[in-house]
């Protein structure tokens, strides 16, 4: 899948996890840009993404992601819909 397809598929997951239908993802978005994105919600987000895309993140990927764009690149590379 392409990065753009990954971003499109990630959007409803973000909206559900953070209970905010107005979330519009972009490459530079970080936790600081989303109300309620704390460590607990980060865990919930990663879990939902892994389930939706039938994949598992490596610990170094989770701790090393700087923004949503990097997350989408990993999902595009290894995830399946």
- Read off the pLDDT of residues 51-68 as tens digits, 9 standing for 90 and up: 999 999 999 999 899 999
CATH of the domain at 58: 1.10.1200.10
Within 2-38, where are the H helices? 3-17
User: Is the Cβ–Cβ distance between 20 and 35 less than 8 Å?
Assistant: yes
C-alpha to C-alpha distances, 19 to 11, 12, 32, 36, 47, nearest whole angstrom = 12, 10, 16, 9, 16
In the chain, the percentage of residues whose pLDDT exceeds 70 is: 100
* Cα–Cα distance, 79 to 18 (Å, whole number): 21
| Domain ranges, residue 41 | 3-78
The domain tally of the chain equals 1
* Cα–Cα distance, 17 to 68 (Å, whole number): 15
State yes or no: pLDDT of 76 exceeds 90: yes
State yes or no: pLDDT of 81 exceeds 90: no
State yes or no: pLDDT of 11 exceeds 90: yes
70 φ/ψ sector (left φ>0, alpha ψ -120 to 50, else beta): alpha
């Amino acid at each position: 899948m392409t990065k753009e397809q990954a971003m499109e598929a990630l959007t409803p997951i973000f909206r559900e996890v953070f209970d905010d239908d107005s979330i519009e993802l972009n490459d530079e978005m970080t936790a600081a840009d989303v109300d309620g994105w704390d460590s607990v919600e980060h865990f919930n987000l990663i879990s939902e993404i892994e389930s939706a895309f039938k994949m598992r993140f490596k610990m170094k990927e989770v701790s090393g992601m700087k923004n949503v764009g990097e997350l989408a690149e990993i999902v595009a590379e290894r995830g399946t819909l």
